[in-house]
Every structure is written in C-alpha cells, then in structure tokens.
A and B are shown apart, each in its own frame.
Chain A
C-alpha cells in the first residue's frame, strides 16, 4: 500500500500563497472525492483542514482551500501566516475500503 506523493517541503513569505500537491492513482485520489488535508504542529495531534476535496470544517480559515484534478489533489494556503508553519498531510479513501496518507510536506514561513 504505497503512500500518496507530496513534496517534502514548501516555503513562502508572509502574505504569499503556497500550494501543496498530493498525487495518487485512479484507485484513490482520482477515483473518489474523499480527499482530506491535515495540519500537524510539532508534538500535537493532526487537525482537519479540508475534507471531501474542497470542504472546510467549521472554524477553519477560508485561507485554506482544496481542489483536485485527475489523480492530483492540491491544498492552497493564501495570505501565509507564521502560525501556518507546520507539517501537512493529505489523505484519500482507497478502493478495498482502506485509507492512505501522503508522506507529508513541511511548510516553512520565511
């Protein structure tokens, strides 16, 4: 069960926008609209930021947005802030009733 592919790191200056990609296959990202994104600060539990490709849970800033094209999903953080510095993980439902995560992306605010 190979993981989804994310870039190891992405960086940006305060106020800028960054995009994190998450590439899978027709059996996961491309086949279902159950892609979600999580933010994890060091030593903390992950927090849901986006679910079902582009939906934001209540309380999540509209600076976070999600999209999908074919087998690649993306998370965009606009108006980058210092508090956004964290690890980000994508996840997708996969055929055979399993779930898979990406390898994680470290976001650095310059």
Chain B
C-alpha cells in the first residue's frame, strides 16, 4: 500500500541548532515533493518544492534534499528559532496531493 511516513515523535531542539526532519514514502513515484508548515488551528503553508531530478534545494535557513532511490526527503532548518516551532508536513505531487502526518517541532530558547 502507499505510505508517507514522517518522524512519528515530536522533535525538541535548542535554539540555534539545526533541526532535521525526515519524510519517507513507499509505492509512490512523485514528480516532486513539497514541505509545508502548519500552526495549530490553521491550514498548512507552503515552504519549499523539490523536483525528482533535483538533489537539494535551499531557501534562506531551509534546506531540502530528495533521494528518489531511497524514497526519502530530508528537511533542515538551520539556526533554529522559537518561532520555527510548528508542525512540518511533507507532500507528494502525483495526480493529487498526498500529505504525511507531519512532525511537530519545538525550538526551546
């Protein structure tokens, strides 16, 4: 069956450190992969997109990698800040958009 799996447990890190979140998928062949941020009670907000032929994408303090052989994407937030605390979702681009359950990140001052 098709699955999108993210770190099931919450991630707690100290301010200034790098947060690394994982997204693994099975039985999908996505043309691209996206990362979204979701705050409590709100809809997700788009952050980054990486295509199947791209290895790495950066935007300010964010970095995404995409390994189609491993069927995995890593999402990094460098120099993390308390304001980065949120749930981060990965989504696969196929005919429709499928989301993982997300990883809840808490950055402590």
Asked if A pairs with B, the answer is: no
Which A residues fall within an 8 A CB radius of B? none
Which B residues fall within an 8 A CB radius of A? none
